[in-house]
Chain A
Amino acid sequence: MAKIGKYILGIATLIFMTNCGNNNDSNSGAMSSSKAEKVYVAPGEHDEYYAFFSGGYSGNITVAGLPSGRMLKEIPVFSQFPTSGYGYSEETKPMLNTSFGFVPWGDAHHPDISQTNGELDGRWIFINENNTPRIARISLTTFETEEIIELPNSAGNHASSFVTENTEYIVAGTRFAVPNPQRDMPINEMKGQFKGPLSFVSIADNGRMNLEFQLNMPGFNYDLAHPGRNKSHGWFFFTSYNTEEANTLMEVNASQNDKDYIAAVNWQKIVEYVKNGGGEKAPGTYAHNVYDEKTHTATSTMKEGVTMVDPREVEGAVFYIPIPKSPHGCDVDPSGEYIIGSGKLSTDLSVYSFEKIQTAIKNKDFVDDSYGIPVLSYENTIAGVVAQPGLGPLHTEFDGKGNAYTTFFISSEVVKWKLGTWEVLDRQPTFYSVGHLMIPGGNSRKPFGKYMVAMNKITKDRYLPTGPELEHSAQLYDISGDKMELLSDFPTHGEPHYAAGIRADIIKDKSKKYYELSENEHPYAAKSESEAKVTRNGNEVHISMTMIRSHFSPDNIEGVKVGDKVYLHMTNLEQDFDVPHGFSIIGANTSEILVMPGQTKTIIWEPKREGVWPFYCTDFCSALHQEMQGYIRVSAANSNTPLKFTLDE
């Protein structure tokens, strides 16, 4: 009897111990290696990395967290963005000004984060625009576009916006060779006539960009670029295709030559040359747009003229290196010794040695010249070849542990290989047809080497179908082990050609929470309700209105007439995190505006009909959000209704 009792007691104790509260052992056992757990970020927790994806034809950047893949924000850069009023508000319209006038859209390609000593410093992120050649700088404290500079004499700014290791320079390229300067001429006479200028833009300590000079290269298509780093700091490498200089049916005619070129540019030498008065003033009109955080307003300045440098004039500064078959990616490893060229129609990867390039230059080991630019020997500059790793190599990133990861578009995979031995270590399929890949910091001296994101061009069946148009798929891999492990899929917005990632703790504590009202220098700001006012100047009416939870001041305005041009200058009086107010009014031929705490933004309203027209807050702000509304009375053009503005009278 006692035995049975003991037995039962034993079992009961066991049940007791095992069936209650499995709270403390979630990190042990087989579960800890589960893929789900690796990408799971618990409610209220933060991701470990920020990832900034170019939006491609959306013209913007989307911000996601890694490893979750959750989208955190879309930052408007080159495209109008009605969600916030970017490109619609009077303050931000100048950001999209160009030498061609106002351009509401752009094609954003390659984001790159600023660096100090070759490491990501998280001050700014830059991104290029391909169609109307431009480079933008975005603050990583406000996550707002602060500056856009246009590049004259260029077309198809694809080989951009890559930053040198102390953020001294950023480059822009020319993927569509064009006459320089532009002129009316027969297309089929392009050979030898077209040019491919490479632009060098300096970055000041406060981030301001300045177009220092353009290198007037032969008219090949400069496709991608990367700066040298570490031992190769001071150099820039650009891939080019169409050395055939074909002007039609390019997919055939630009694929004739066995080899095209990597252009190796000693930019420090050219900077010195220009400083000493080198180069010629050449024509070139370009817009330079700068956003001021104090006035909350952008200004656009049209500039004229650029210093044009003939690459043949600067001794020992510009060389061509032969590379097989229409190269695309041009990537430099963290040590700066290896330059990886991906001949996209070749089956091999060519890896060049910086030291060998230097020796070949010193020994004048040239095999040819192209339009007067010395061509180095392939054999004497190559460090090694990764033989037949896949089909259609495009881009390479690094993990900082001696390994490289290359995407293969045609065979739809990422291949991990070893720098120095060139052996293939692992391969993983992507879904489908990967373009770029991104390892946070993979573009610096110190990659973080934990995750890799593959950005795919084709989505097909990866998600629920959403009609013919699908968001592009990205895939997250854990690369901390010997083998890459596919963890998750997540959709990305537009077409993310490239991305830049950074450890979250480098920037998250510097993120701005609101703008200081006391520092607001907007000329029409109403920094308290007592400063709210309405003034008329001819048929222009300026309304300086305040917003706070949950009313506008003034909220009743009379004396506006049909035909007036009404400027609604909205100031958000809140001084707390995450309390924006929105503004919209019936009949406005523009977007709403979203006004951050402490900020002033303006939209124009041109009333066309008499009546009493309501306006309201578009961003749910408090329990009384629905009450945050007001009226503007519009009288006939010839009426005598006096100007009057009130609140609670």
Chain B
Amino acid sequence: MKKALKFLTLIITLILFSCGGSDKKDEPSYGKKEPEKKEVKEPASKRVDLNNKGIGPITSVDLGLVVDKNMAAHGKEVYDKMCTACHKAEKKFIGPSPKGILERRTPEWVMNMILNPEEMVKEDQLAKDLLIEFNGSPMANQNLTKEEARAVLEYFRTL
């Protein structure tokens, strides 16, 4: 009988453990503090990351050796119409200046930020930090085509 009871206890314990929370990940136990990070982060807009391609439809961009002037001119047109409400070349405005952007970001990241801003500010750490740095002002999705975004990128090379 004792054996049976033990067996029963074991099974009930098993049942108790078996329900719910199967997806739970190990959480750090209480009292075990992570060492505090004291390094002062550079603002996201100044950070240089030439590896991160961001998240979105663009996985690779071939930049020509020289700027494609026609494409850049088209890009300026698009930029002036769709982007200047928030971005200005000469100053930090609602969002960061695109001047020198390719010294800090990959071309893919720039295009993904234009084409897929909603996902970028949720999933891409750099874009998330930028959203905070710029007071939570969202990068508007202006529904540019890939070609238009590529042209805007070409225009950025001339700034």
Using known A-B contacts A549-B137, A576-B140, A622-B137, determine if residue A529 contacts B4 with beta carbons closer than 8 Å.
Answer: no
Q: How far is the CA of A579 from the CA of B138 in the complex (A)?
A: 12
Which chain B residues in 55-91 approach chain A with CB under 8 Å? Answer: 80-82, 84-86
Q: Are A20 and B94 in contact (CB under 8 A)?
A: no
Query: Could you say which residues of chain A place their CB within 8 Å of the CB of B94?
Result: 551
What does the 1/0 interface line of B120-154 toward A look like (CB < 8 Å)?
Answer: 00000000000000011110111100000000000
A623 touches which of B4, B80, B93, B136 (Cβ 8 Å): B136
A16 touches which of B7, B15, B136 (Cβ 8 Å): B15
Q: How far is the CA of A514 from the CA of B12 in the complex (A)?
A: 58
Q: Are A5 and B15 in contact (CB under 8 A)?
A: no
Q: Summarize B's interface: helix, strand, loop or mixed.
A: loop
How many residues belonging to A are interface residues under a CB distance threshold of 8 Å? Answer: 33
Q: How far is the CA of A20 from the CA of B19 in the complex (A)?
A: 6
Q: How far is the CA of A288 from the CA of B146 in the complex (A)?
A: 43
Q: Are B137 and A624 in contact (CB under 8 A)?
A: yes
| Closest beta carbon of chain B to A450's beta carbon, Å | 36
Q: Are A623 and B138 in contact (CB under 8 A)?
A: yes
What does the 1/0 interface line of B1-39 toward A look like (CB < 8 Å)?
Answer: 101100110011011001100000000000000000000
Query: Could you say which residues of chain B place their CB within 8 Å of the CB of A550?
Result: 137
Q: Are B81 and A527 in contact (CB under 8 A)?
A: yes
Query: Could you say which residues of chain B place their CB within 8 Å of the CB of A5?
Result: 3-4, 7
| Tier of interface size on chain B | 20 to 34
Q: How far is the CA of A16 from the CA of B1 in the complex (A)?
A: 22
| Closest beta carbon of chain A to B82's beta carbon, Å | 7
Q: How far is the CA of A575 from the CA of B33 in the complex (A)?
A: 46
Q: Does A612 contact B (CB under 8 A)?
A: no
A575 touches which of B4, B82, B93, B135 (Cβ 8 Å): B82
| Closest beta carbon of chain A to B58's beta carbon, Å | 19
| Closest beta carbon of chain A to B97's beta carbon, Å | 14
Q: How far is the CA of A38 from the CA of B22 in the complex (A)?
A: 32
Query: Could you say which residues of chain B place their CB within 8 Å of the CB of A30?
Result: none
Q: Are A15 and B138 in contact (CB under 8 A)?
A: no
Query: Could you say which residues of chain B place their CB within 8 Å of the CB of A579?
Result: 140
Q: How far is the CA of A61 from the CA of B143 in the complex (A)?
A: 31
Chain B residue at minimum C-beta to C-beta distance from A16: B15
Query: Could you say which residues of chain B place their CB within 8 Å of the CB of A19?
Result: 15, 19
A8 touches which of B11, B81, B82, B85 (Cβ 8 Å): B11
| Closest beta carbon of chain A to B47's beta carbon, Å | 22
Q: Does A469 contact B (CB under 8 A)?
A: no
Residues of chain B at the chain A interface (Cβ within 8 Å): 1, 3-4, 7-8, 11-12, 14-15, 18-19, 80-82, 84-86, 93-94, 135-138, 140-143
20 chain-A/chain-B pairs, Cβ below 8 angstroms = A4-B4, A8-B11, A9-B7, A19-B15, A527-B81, A529-B85, A530-B84, A546-B85, A548-B86, A551-B94, A573-B85, A574-B140, A575-B141, A575-B142, A576-B142, A579-B140, A623-B138, A624-B136, A624-B137, A648-B93
Residues of chain A at the chain B interface (Cβ within 8 Å): 1, 4-5, 8-9, 12, 15-16, 19-21, 514, 517-518, 527-530, 546, 548-551, 553, 573-576, 579, 622-624, 648
